[in-house]
Structure 1
Amino acid sequence: MRINEQTKQENRLRILGKAAELFIAKGFEDCTTRDLALAAGLATGTLFNYFPSKETLAMTMVSEALSQGREDYQRRRTGAEDLTEDLFLFIASGLRRLRPLRPFLGPVLERSLSPFPRKTICHEGEAARLEHLATVQEIIGRHGFTEAPDYVAVTMYWSLYLGILAFWTNDESTNQEATRALIDYSIRYYVQLISGTGADTGETHAR
């Protein structure tokens, strides 16, 4: 029997909601697709019609949270920020939306966003990476860089960002204040890298 689009969306949301509960309660590694299907009231085969793997399901949550973070960032920015402040606000907005997923986020990011070569690529993770970097390039362009950062600069940024994510998932400081300090230091370092002068404006690359 074919189901309508509304039922599909309801099933999808139920799967995501139940999966988040299970990942937090049991841990990402210890949850099976059978556990996830049972919690959502679906057959395992039906679950695969929505998400082909546990990693895809979890990374979908991450991707949607990061999208919400981008929307929050767009609402919160005033236009008066310098480049360092703008990038800080963007990253912090994403982490704020990821916070509910933090208890199980480490192994998800390790599998889906790892910079090391893998036999299979998580398409949701790759899409999230490209969307994130596209926003970063837009931010940099607004601050006087008329050309997109080159491969080295983009790779350096992504490495710094993954380091921030990895640190944040294990940050036990109050309100993750240590992560905020790491973001600030990392972004200032990155701005110095791409400006070539240590300045925040990017004027040496502007035309």
Structure 2
Amino acid sequence: MISRKTKQRSELFCSSKSTFPAAVLAATLVCSPPPLHADEMQPSPRSGFTTMTDASQSESESLQIAKVRNHIIKFDNSRGTEKLEIQENLYQRQCIASVKPDSVTLNPGEIAEVHLDIRDSESSGCAGEPKYVLWRATVANPGGRPFDYQMLFTEDPREETHGGTQVRSTRSSRPGAPYAATCGDRACFDEWAPTSDGGSAIFFYKNT
């Protein structure tokens, strides 16, 4: 039997939690998501029961908060000659719930896939906002001096008619650095391509 005092504490906690900013709520969901709105399904002291309207609204809010979509990016070093160490910069990520894996070792002749879970919900503050993730790539360059650079993947719904996708890099067209990228079936290296449900690929330079 739940005491009245315990029930009041639970209601106070849930009430204060609902005032958190959307960004804090989104971060909480990523780190350790609790069951959503479980307390709202309990009988309220005022009415003694939960209406179907309340239950439907709670379910709708839960689905909206959890709304993410998966986007696959291929790092294609199949024609490259350099070994790459690629590490995501966690502090330069926006509206990306997760990046898996967050680090990749890419030997010459290899292709790796990275999965992005992209947030789109209004409750997360990401509806209609740019989504981006930044990586740092390090090239061992055995025949010369090691170097590193950064790669940025961006989806911006404000670009073009239906939104745009782009890949940029601080180094390009040299062994170990990107020379091309595709987003869906369109070129998107240093240029905008229409956003689509297709994945993306980044191709690394072949030393000839």
Q: Greater strand share, 1 or 2? A: 2
When normalised by structure 2's length, the TM-score is 0.30
User: Which structure has the highest helix share of the two?
Assistant: 1
